[in-house]
Amino acid sequence: MSKKKKICVVAASAVIVAPMLFTTPASASSVSNGILSKIERQLSVNKILKDIERLSMDNGENKDNARVTGFEGEHEAAKYIQSQFEKLGLNSELKTVDGIDGFIDEGSSLTINNQSVTVKTLTYSQPTNQKLEGELAYAKTGTENECKEANLQGKIALIQRGSISFAEKAKNAYNNGAVGVIIYNNASGMLNGTLGKLNDSVVPTVGMSLEDGKVLVDKVNAGESVNVAMEVKTIVKPNSFSYNVVGELPAHKNIRNPQTLVVGAHFDSVSCPGANDNASGTATILELARLISQPEIKNKLQYNVKFVAFGAEEIGLVGSEKYVEQLVQSGEAQNIAGMINLDMVGVGDQVVTYNIDDNASHKITDIAHENINELGYKFGGHFNSGSSDHAPFEAEGIPSVFIQFDKDPYYHTDEDTLDKIDPQNIKETATLVLNMLMDMQEKSPNKPNKQNKKQFKNIEFENEEMPSF
Ligand code: BES
Ligand code: ZN
């Protein structure tokens, strides 16, 4: 794709969007003469890219502290997002999420008989003091008995993934004298995992691929003496906090008991720039908020629309879980008509959708699929995943969909930077969500007149140059 693409002005196309967003249908001509040209409700990909840049830039001295959960960079990003909601005139709220242990993986290394092997720090691992050296001992899947039998005193335990949690394996090994733990995968490839909580962390613990793990098991089983040197560097911030940031556009006051639509994206990151994961989704919801908050649209909404930027996603969906818990406690959960989650929408060449499973209603997913189809986007398929913020909503029975572009080779690496973002993906995502919101307006139980069928799909840009990187 040529990235420097001049988008032509198709004034009329943008015009037809309007009636669908209003409670009172307006004729195309009255709209074209007035509202839309006045509010210039065109989507600006450049604004989204600027926000991605703003969110993913280096954060002073500690460049890896981009928006890591519980650290300053994340808190600063939350305040920026709130300031943007405020600027747009949304009812905004910064909701503190307590009980967060901040953790930054500063890298780990391992050598086996002086040969280096790739490992990955488990989240919440203890650090090593300088380098840790010891003999390798194999403790199978790391149950209490297996650890007892493996004679781990002063050694580094090699344990296979499976049957019990990583934290339990590490604890069992530690209780039997191990000074370090390596957990290798039970499927091909690297093991990337978490010990769950800082409190559950007792010993330096790293993940290893199945392939490397097997080679080591064979060596130990053959009676070879295997010497391990291991180093784990971390930064922790215990008892920290995070934020969920909410920007609300209330439904028109004439709508009795309006339902709420949530459009969400997490804004925290692991220790990398996080341009795609997930400054892309965050910046896109900010632009959607800007478009929908144009008074001519805002004043006629049939749903409350809540834009929610979630914190603490990367440590286990903690922000969105807390948010849903609060919805349930206040009774508001029953009133949520749907949730759209944007996570990693800037890299890849096909749009994909996810739900946790087939249990909850797929009403919103169906609307996404209809629109993806009508817009003619390349669709990579629908999958099951609970790895993002739609999961707590879906688990509560709220119709939800997780929208993503696939596939991002820079996921959770230092290469997750602005230059990898494809503006076309951003444009397509924002267009898709706008169309979905229009459909929901159209299908709203409150809509008095359903004659106005949606005719418009692709949103065009007015005089906007596509960025050239
Ligand atoms: N954006 C990712 C999830 C993701 C990545 C989904 C690639 C599908 C493809 C998210 O921020 C993340 O990293 N989630 C964690 C799980 C979470 C429960 C801590 C993950 O997938 O490891
Ligand atoms: Zn993410």
Is the pLDDT confidence value at 386 over 80? yes
If you measure from the C-alpha of residue 267 to the centroid of ligand 2, how many angstroms do you get, rounded to a whole number?
8
What pLDDT does residue 446 have? 64
Contacts of 453 (CB under 8 A, 6+ apart): none
Distances from the Cα of 428 to the Cαs of 45, 157, 250, 416, 435, in angstroms?
Answer: 10, 49, 26, 20, 10
Please report the atom of ligand 1 found closest to the CA of residue 343. Answer: 1
- Distance (Å) of CA 408 to CA 4, 274, 282: 21, 12, 17
Alpha carbon of 247 to ligand 2 centroid (Å): 20
Spell out which residues line ligand 1, taking CB within 6 angstroms. 277-278, 313-314, 316-317, 343-344, 385, 387-388, 404, 411
Nearest ligand atom owner, CA of 123: 1
**Cα–Cα separations (whole angstroms), residue 413 to 53, 219, 269, 408, 418:** 16, 32, 11, 10, 13
Is residue 462 over pLDDT 60? no
How confident is the model at residue 179, as a pLDDT? 98
Nearest atom within ligand 1 for CA of residue 391: 18
| Helix (H), strand (E) at residue 354 | strand 350-355
**Predicted local confidence at residue 300, as pLDDT:** 81
Residue 7 has pLDDT above 70, yes or no: no
Among the atoms of ligand 1, which is closest to the Cα of residue 354?
A: 8
Instruction: Say how many Å lie between the CA of residue 62 and the centre of ligand 2.
Output: 21
Could you give the 3-state DSSP secondary structure of residue 457?
A: coil
Q: Which of 387, 394, 416, 429 to mutate to test the pocket of ligand 1 (most atoms within 8 A of CB)?
A: 387
Ligand 1, atom 14: closest residue by C-alpha: 387
pLDDT attached to residue 399 = 97
Q: What are phi and psi of 407, to 5 degrees?
A: -125, 145
pLDDT at 26 over 60: no
pTM of the model: 0.84
Q: Which atom of ligand 1 is nearest to the CA of 266?
A: 11
CA–CA distance, 267 with 252 (Å, rounded to integer):
29
Cα of 100 from ligand 1 centre, angstroms: 18
Among 388, 394, 413, the mutation site with the greatest number of ligand 1 atoms within 8 A of its Cβ is: 388
Please state, in angstroms and rounded to a whole number, the distance separating the CA atoms of residues 301 and 433.
15
**pLDDT value at 106 more than 70:** yes
Q: What is the pLDDT of residue 207?
A: 97
- Ligand 1 atom 4: residue of nearest CA: 387
Q: What is the average per-residue pLDDT within 126-137?
A: 94
Interhelix angle 423-443/363-375, rounded to 10 degrees, is 120
Which residues lie closer than 8 Å to 269 by C-beta, 6 or more apart? 56, 66, 67, 68, 74, 277, 278, 279, 314
Cis omega (within 30 of 0) on the bond before 114? no
Give residue 438's pLDDT: 81
Nearest CA residue ID for atom 22, ligand 1: 387
Find the 347 Cα to ligand 1 centroid distance in Å: 15
Residue 75's pLDDT is 95
239 and 279 Cβ atoms separated by less than 8 Å = no
- Tell me, in angstroms, the distance from the centre of ligand 1 to residue 10's CA: 38
Q: Which among 430, 417, 427, 406 has a CA at the least distance from the CA of 469?
A: 417
pLDDT for 21: 38
Task: Give the strand pairing for 156-160 and 180-184.
Answer: parallel
Ligand index nearest the alpha carbon of residue 313: 1
Taking the CB of residue 225, how many other CB atoms lie within 10 A of it? 9
Whether pLDDT at 35 is above 50: no
Could you tell me which residues come within 8 angstroms of residue 349 by beta carbon, excluding any fewer than 6 positions away? Answer: 378, 405, 406
**Choice among 71-80, 294-303, 357-366 with the minimum mean pLDDT:** 294-303
CA of 388 to the centre of ligand 1 (A): 6
- pLDDT surpasses 50 at 321: yes
CA 325 to chain centroid: 19
401 or 447: which leads in pLDDT: 401
Q: Using CA positions, which residue lies closest to atom 13 of ligand 1?
A: 314
Torsion from C-alpha of 278, 279, 280, 283, nearest 10 degrees:
130
Q: Residue 413 C-alpha to ligand 2 middle, in angstroms? A: 12
pLDDT at site 363 = 96
pLDDT at 443: 75
> pLDDT band for position 464 (50/70/90)?
low
Identify which ligand lies nearest to the alpha carbon of 278.
Answer: 2
CA of 300 to the centre of ligand 1 (A): 36
* Per-residue pLDDT, 415: 94
Q: Identify whether the C-beta of residue 434 lies closer than 8 Å to the C-beta of residue 459.
A: yes
SS3 letters across 98-160: EEEEEEEEEEEEEEECCEEECCEECECCCCCCCCEEEEEEECCCCCHHHHHHCCCCCCEEEEE
- Rounded Cα distance, 469 and 460, in Å: 20
Mean pLDDT on 75-92: 97
Instruction: Examine the pLDDT at 243 and tell me if it is beyond 50.
Output: yes
* % of the chain exceeding 90 in pLDDT: 77
**62-82 average pLDDT score:** 86
Nearest CA to ligand 1 atom 8: 387
Q: Provide the pLDDT for residue 457.
A: 55
Segment 260-284, tens digit of pLDDT: 999 999 999 998 999 999 999 999 9
Taking the centre of ligand 1 as the mean of its atom positions, its distance from the CA of residue 412, in whole angstroms, is: 9
Residue that wins the pLDDT comparison between 170 and 31: 170
Model confidence at 37, in pLDDT bands (50, 70, 90)? very low
Alpha-carbon distance of 454 to 456, in angstroms, equals: 6
Smallest CA separation from ligand 1 atom 19, residue: 316
Nearest CA to ligand 1 atom 20: 387
pLDDT category at 435 given cuts 50, 70, 90 is: confident
Note the pLDDT of residue 141.
Answer: 98
Given a contact cutoff of 8 angstroms between Cβ atoms, the answer to whether 382 and 369 are in contact is yes
End-to-end CA distance of the chain: 12
* Residue recorded with tokens 């989204």: 48
